[in-house]
Structure 1
Amino acid sequence: MSSLSKPSRRNFMKLAATASGGLFLGFSWTSSVASALEVVSDTAIAAGEIEFNSFLALSPDGIVTIFSPNPELGQNIKTSFPMIVAEELDADWTKVKVVQAPLDTNKFERQVTGGSGAVPHSWDRLRTAGATARHMLMEAAAKRWKVSASTLTTDNGMVVHQATGRKLSYGDLATEASKVPVPKDVKLKDPKNFKLIGTAVRNVDNHEMITGKPLYGMDVYKEGMLFAMIQRPKAFGMKLKSVDAAAAKAMPGIVDVVTFKSNVAVVGKSTWQVNKARKALKLEYEEDAPLESSTDHDRIFKELLDSPDATVHRKDGDVAAAFQKAAKVIKSEYQCPFLPHSPMEPMNFFAHVRLDGVELAGPTQTPERARSEVAKLLNIAPEKVTVELTRLGGGFGRRLSADYVVEAAELSSIIKAPVKVIWTREDDMTGGTYRPAVRYRFEAALDAKGNMIGYKLRGVGMSSGNPTREDNFPSGSVDNLLIDSVEHKSPITTGPWRAPITNFLAFAEQSFLDEVAQAAGKDPVQFRLELLAKAKKAPVGEIKYDIDRMKGVIDLAVEKSGWGRKKGVAQGFSVYFSHRSYVAQVGEVAVKNNVPVVTKVYAACDCGMVVNLSGAYQQVKGGIVDGLGHAMYSNLTFKNGAPDQKNFNNYRLIRLKEVPEVDVYFVNNGINPTGLGEPALPPTGGAVANAIYKATGKRLRNQPFIEQAELKTV
């Protein structure tokens, strides 16, 4: 038996219906038009004969069930998705159930968690699904009562005929409603009539999480499953030379020791046994690429900032002329280190490679990528690979990659058995993929009146492509602007880390704008507002951010924080646009015992309509704590290709006592939802660094802040 059972059609249909019939409403995630499915007998349901896409189901007992296709890693879509459906359906929220869907690209679209795009992508589709079911229920009631459907309303899972006071529950009407023709177009609610959307709703998995029910990849257990841990090269740039596994193979519970590529997998009957045996391996490695250290990166980055071979991403006006005639030039460099993702649940995945297909199960942000890469590895059709999704115990971009899925599948294909590969915390922290280190050089040209007439940004990235965001503010507000980059190829594997690129770039940009504002003799907020006003009146080139939305969060943050009017604390400001949303923050710092302490952060957010107020607050607060903690404390350094920090004993994360008070405010502008999982993180570092400067007179240009001499000597 499996402790985390696969959500089969049989199980889902049993959950969604009873023997007395019910309404099964299928809807395509690629279309906003729903389609009704034929009501079948209980026998047919049990036999799994009904075909469906992603769908809404209504059973005669009034239970509304929906498949949630996207992976859930804490961003709350597993609660928000059904809230959207239930709102348009006018359902009784206490009777809504949610089932995690497996990977099925024929029935679902964009089964991805990343880029803060789940709710924006599915908003209209989910609303239409709920509204379509509501229409069919009203038509069924109208037919039974022999009245016009236009005389009916719905409320909390009931169809109501106001003229006579008659009511029928959705469950009573489910079977009849299934026979109503599906409308091609349905009217959606006016948002001003929303009852559920915009309220605070508890996470649908709360009870299971609190009581320890199996939800996560670590909970997966399949009959006959073996366990494995893999020893990977201990340094980036090394490959395996020789293996002596005799001692490991002789240990209790060990089934096999397998070498593939430069990996050595120990396979056995329990994680304890395989972890102990792995330590008995005698392995030799040899150099395969340069073994880089952090001191090498510092030197390389500084050299590349002067490289003549930069890639230009945006150029407006005559930059050279602007700097030549400038009354004042400001120039600064900012650098950040590598960071591991550090999800609380380390990497793990189950794989069973059989002759007739491959079964995969575990936590992934990109199940389709996992399937396609496994299919490519094994040279089989993707249709022969199934992926069961579990809840993710954190991801932050690490589980966008499929390397840990592929190695589980490759190992299963070699040992001809089902296996679950588990990474330890040390494996997770030393095995990549990391937030890439980067260095930026900023230059600004001011005229005699303190107006910014020129702006230059060069980024040196690390095997990550373009480390800039050339179309973000202040682009479009400066007449003469140049943004370019140089890339350094490294054997150290890097990839997306929460709010990719902008997680550090926002800090650097917003800190530098404060430097420029000071040189111009202007208030930092007013300086930014003047730039936005110029972009509004006389835009330079294409502007890809919404000036009014950015100004809206600035105004709200200034109002709520009492910007510039408080005594006893130093305030720092930051505003950023990322993942379609806008967040302005004010950080407050007080000097206690000669040490600057972050006491409070105000956040003003414009993410469009908020679906779940509770989840939204937690996303913003979590992003701020994540951004603050990593800016202040976290650092992954390398020596000869190997990470110095291998576990939380010497890799510093923020501690509970260091978390400041956080106030969150949302702009209610009525537009459709935009991203929220990442946008609150990028502005935090800048708001805090600018506040520390106000409090101490020391400008922080590198992360982590805590390791800088300027902060230690305050």
Structure 2
Amino acid sequence: MKSTTTNSRRDFLKMSAITGGGLVLGFNWFSAEASAPVVFSSVAAGDIGFNSYLSIATDGTITIMSPNPELGQNIITSFPMVVAEELEADWKKVKVLQANLDNKFDRQLTGGSGAVPHSWKLLRNAGATAKFMLIEAAAKKWAVPASECTAANSFVIHSRTGKKLGYGELAEAASKIPVPATVKLKDRKDFKLIGKSVRNVENHKIVTGQPLFGLDFYREGMVFAMIQRPEQFGMKLKSFDGSIAKSMPGIIDVVSFKNNVAVVGKSTWQVLKARKMVKIEYEKEFALESTEDHDKLFLNLMDNGQATVRRKDGDVDAAFKNAAKVVKGEYQCPFISHSPMEPMNFFAHVRPDGVELVGPTQTPGRARTEVSKLLNIPEDKITLQLTRLGGGFGRRLYNDFTVEAAELSSIIKAPVKLIWTKEDDMTAGTYRPAVRYRFEAALDASGNLTGYKLRGVGINSGNPTRENNFPSGAVENLLIDSVEHKSPITTGAWRAPITNFLAFAEQAFIDEVAQAAGKDPVQFRLDLLAKAKKSPVGDIRYDISRMEGVIKMAAEKSGWGKKKDVSQGFSVYFSHASYVAQVADVVMRAGLPVVKKIYAVSDCGQVVSLNGASHQVMGGIVDGLGHAMYSKLSFRDGAADQNNYNTYRLIRMKEVPEIETHFVDNGIDPTGLGEPALPPTGGAVANAIFKATGKRVRNQPFIEEDVFKTIS
């Protein structure tokens, strides 16, 4: 199917259904102020310089551009919902367009669960501003005070006479109303759309197979390419012979750049077959590391590595010297792959007058900057059209595949579509770092936590700890430090970076400490929070009351401690400005623990789309459970042992438990949600497994632990 790139401003005017006049409101992503509106019929598309758009056409269609990349987090639905709420719009008349990369957008990226929190007030002001102007236009037509007019369901109504005018009828007149300096926003109690369940605006396109994703993109005249990269991390290209591949049908060229050998041809299938025929010789550049080496390395660095102190409170040595009991535990996780369903891909056309890029990236601005530096081409000569992302989980924060496509296009002097296979994704990816943690806790004779130590040893992880997270601030004597190992294996952010495993380790260890203290795990956490509230130690970066709230609600909703024949495990975590508590129900079947149900309570501030939020939480839990239970990427002499789903284990449909979601309604603005539900899952499940079996699981994947040894 053919698809072409378009200028975002022209695209907006073309597709927003404005044909003979209407209201086009530009609003500023750097502040909550709107730019001056224009009448569409009086300007050329290229003259419009707004940095975001809200349009109301004469037929009543309302269109908003969504700047952030969409990878399944549902912002392409949530953004227009916020505008429509303040606008009092008929949701059936609202549509949204994906914006291309534009300097005038602020934070045009997807990562860190920050899209809705960042844009919340800006979007509300945009909708409220347009509503104000429509009401003013109607009042002027009727020659009545604007205070006598209200808006509802895309109409302005005169309350005294019952007259009403549709937004489409008022759009052009509204465009002549001066933009107000400030507008009043709705009270939360009056929300009609926000907080309700609304279907994803792209559902129909997705289920009917309309071209949305990067792999769907096609340009007449483009060529296809695949790249052979070193199969072992630590090797570099020495020489290659592409003569046989070049003689195969449909193959245009075989070229090399950096450590890559690229095969270029007329179709993906022809290129895939020809790539296998390229003869390549590599030479060693760095040590070729294996998983066995990493295991030994972790143990050595844990005892002998040069540690960086991340936080230190009180006198830790004295606390442990005087302790009535000391609890110790070590936890380890492997590398894991991001494994998005859509492999990496990108289109690039490097021309004498500029560069055109099209494809799925979480960081389009960074992609443009990297291509600019590589090719020495000014950024204003580079355009980037965003497609929908077929998964990312952090992998598409990095733009190695975008840069590869651009560099290859510059070499072959042609528009090229670069495609990775699933094997390429898994063997040459950017992985979650492998990490090992050592915890120690000091208890006094009454079972009170008086000392706490955590050391994290990571491979390319930077700082593998979150030193200011709970229980920091609740323990008088605390030491958190870390040791780093640099490896040629490429690593990067994986959904809920660092906390995706750290949360499991911390929450499982806190349960061990609670058991040693002879206290209920939930009450043990609440007691620590009460202590932090009464006598805080050092800097506290989390909201104690919000964490207490999700803990208590999760205990209530799950029937904590009241169920028979069900073993429950608890976990709570703070990340990306949100709080999530989970309870896992585990039952024994054929002598093995099985996760039956998971309860999740999230405090993420105001929920925009209720079903979208629930899906985010459920997806995070399934992701967290699946990777904790099953996933592992191991290495032998620098090469990944697993290269596709037949050898890399992911959770299966039949293994997904029932999930029950709840949200705290506390009236605050939205905080993150795309990632916070994942970190607590591993801890809740591990703690429930211990309750059911009496055995601790300290390493991931759980399936390799002794408690599951009868599973083949």
Q: Distance in 2 between matches of 1:399 and 1:420?
A: 17
Cα drift, residue 2 of structure 1: 3.9
Q: Which residue of 2 aligns with 1:684?
A: 681
**Which residue type is aligned with residue 402 of structure 1?**
N
Partner of 1:57: 55
1:651 matched to which residue of 2? 648
String of CA shifts for 1:441-476, please: whole Å, max 9, x gaps: 000000000000000000001112100000000000
User: Does residue 108 of the first structure (1) align with residue 105 of the second (2)?
Assistant: yes
Q: Deviations over 1:180-212 (max 9, x none)?
A: 000010000011100000000000111110110
Q: Is the 8 A contact 1:452 1:478 kept in 2?
A: yes
Q: Give yes or no for contact 2:441–2:451 (8 Å, CA) kept in 1.
A: yes
- TM superposition score normalised by structure 2: 0.99
Query: Contact 1:198 / 1:609 at 8 angstroms: preserved in 2?
Result: yes
1:610 aligns with 2:607: yes
The alpha carbon displacement at 1:485 in A equals: 0.2
Shift of 1:711: 2.4
Q: Distance in 2 between matches of 1:8 and 1:341?
A: 30
- C-alpha displacement at 1:365, in angstroms? 0.2
**Aligned position for 1:81:** 79
2:432 aligns with 435
**In 2, distance between residues paired with 1:380 and 1:7?**
19
Residue of structure 1 equivalent to 2:590:
593
The AA in structure 2 aligned to 1:186 is V
Q: Is the 8 A contact 1:116 1:675 kept in 2?
A: yes
Counterpart amino acid of 1:645?
Answer: Q
Q: 1:52 to 1:17 in 2, by over 3 A?
A: farther
Displacement of 1:296 after TM fit? Answer: 0.3
Distance 1:190 1:223 in 2: 51
2:469 aligned counterpart, secondary structure? coil
Computed over aligned residues only, the root mean square deviation of the Cα atoms, in angstroms, reads 1.1
Amino acid in structure 1 at the alignment position of 2:227: I
Seen in structure 2, the aligned counterparts of structure 1 residues 8 and 115 have a Cα distance that, compared at 3 Å, is closer
**Counterparts in 2 of 1:28-427, with a 5 A limit?**
28-41=28-41, 44-45=43-44, 48-105=46-103, 107-307=104-304, 309-427=306-424
Secondary structure of 2:358's aligned partner? strand
Q: Residues of 2 paired with 1:70 and 1:346: CA distance?
A: 20
Listed one character per residue, the Cα deviations across residues 499-544 of structure 1 (whole Å, up to 9, x for unaligned) are 0000000000000000000000000001000000000000000100
* CA–CA separation in structure 2 for the residues paired with 1:688 and 1:196: 35
CA distance in 2 between counterparts of 1:571 and 1:40 reads 61
Change (3 A) 1:565 1:350: same
What displacement does 1:308 show?
A: 5.3
1: CA distance, partners of 2:17 / 2:233: 54
Q: What residue identity is the alignment partner of 2:564?
A: K
What SS is found at the alignment partner of 2:95?
Answer: strand
User: Deviation of residue 222 (structure 1)?
Assistant: 1.2
**8 Å Cα contact 2:23-2:40 kept in structure 1:** no
Helix, strand or coil for the counterpart of 1:306? helix
Shift, 1:53, TM fit: 1.7
1-side partners of 2:40 and 2:670: how far apart? Answer: 37
2:21 equivalent in structure 1: 21
- CA shift, 1:14, in A, is 2.4
Alignment pair present for 1:479 and 2:496? no
Letter in 2 for 1:120: P
Contact 1:200 1:615 in 2 (8 A): yes
CA contact (8 A) 1:7 1:100 kept: no
For residues 555-704 of structure 1, the aligned pairs below 5 Å read 555-704=552-701
Q: Deviations over 1:577-615 (max 9, x none)?
A: 000000000001101010111000000110001000010
Q: Secondary structure at the match of 1:102?
A: coil
> For residues 48 and 504 of structure 2, what CA distance do their matches in structure 1 show?
53
Cα drift, residue 4 of structure 1: 4.9
Q: In 2, Cα distance between the equivalents of 1:632 and 1:11?
A: 46
**C-alpha distance 713-277 of structure 1, shift in aligned 2 (>3 A):** closer
Report the AA paired with residue 168 of structure 2: G
The residue number in structure 2 matching 1:10 is 10
Which whole-Å CA distance do the structure 2 matches of 1:41 and 1:242 have between them? 60
Whole-angstrom distance in 2 between the partners of 1:256 and 1:349: 19
Query: Post-superposition shift, 1:244?
Result: 1.2
How far apart, CA to CA, are the structure 2 residues paired with 1:641 and 1:449? 50
Decide which moves more: 502-511 or 306-315. Answer: 306-315
1:25 CA drift (Å): 0.4
Residue 306 of structure 1: how far off its partner (Å): 1.2
Q: Which amino acid aligns with 1:28?
A: N
User: CA separation in 1, counterparts of 2:183 and 2:561?
Assistant: 50
Q: Cα distance, 1:17 vs. partner?
A: 4.1
Q: After superposition, give the CA deviation of every residue in 1:660-699 in whole Å (9 maximum; x if it has no partner).
A: 0000000011100000000000000000000000000110
CA deviation map 1:642-676 (0-9, x unaligned):
00000000100000000000000000111000000
Check whether the contact 2:5–2:358 (CA below 8 A) recurs between aligned residues. Answer: no
Code of the residue aligned with 1:38 in structure 2: it is: V
The DSSP-based 3-state class of the residue aligned with 2:691 is: helix
1:518 paired residue among 510, 515, 518: 515
Give 2:477's aligned amino acid: N
Q: How does 1:492-531 map to 2 (within 5 A)?
A: 492-531=489-528
Residue pair 1:4, 1:215 contacting (<8 A) in 2 also = no
User: How far apart, CA to CA, are the structure 2 residues paired with 1:270 and 1:708?
Assistant: 45
Work out whether residues 7 and 101 of structure 1, in 8 Å CA contact, stay in contact via their aligned partners in 2: no
Q: Percent identity?
A: 72
SS of the aligned residue for 2:92 comes to helix
CA distance in 2, matches of 1:150, 1:673: 31
> Structure 1 residue 480: deviation in Å?
0.2
Return the letter of the residue paired with 2:37. L
How many pairs were matched up? 711
- Once residues 502 and 466 of structure 1 are traced to their aligned partners in structure 2, the CA distance between those partners, rounded to angstroms, is 11
* 8 Å Cα contact 1:241-1:284 kept in structure 2: yes
SS for the counterpart of 1:34 is coil
1:542 pairs with 2:539: yes
Corresponding residue number in structure 2 for 1:445 = 442
Per-residue CA shift, 1:38-80, capped at 9, x if unaligned?
A: 21427x44x5443322110110111110110000000000000
Preserved CA contact (<8 Å) 1:114 1:400: yes
In 1, Cα distance between equivalents of 2:207 and 2:710? 44
Whole-angstrom distance in 1 between the partners of 2:340 and 2:14: 35
Distance in structure 1 (CA, Å) of the matches to 2:367 and 2:46:
27
- For the residues of structure 1 that align with 2:48 and 2:459, how far apart are their CA atoms? 51
- Aligned partners of 2:653 and 2:522: how far apart in 1? 31
Q: Give the CA deviation at 1:35.
A: 1.7
Which residue identity is paired with 1:11? Answer: D
Residue type matched to 1:612 in 2? S
Give structure 1 regions of 4+ aligned residues with deviation exceeding 6 angstroms: none
User: Is the contact between residue 8 and residue 99 of structure 2 (CA under 8 Å) also seen in structure 1?
Assistant: no
CA-to-partner distance for each residue in 1:287-334, whole Å, 9 max, x for gaps?
110000000000001111113520001000000010000000011110
Contact kept? 2:314, 2:478, Cα under 8 Å: yes
Deviations 1:150-184 (A, max 9, x none): 11110010001110001011111101100000001
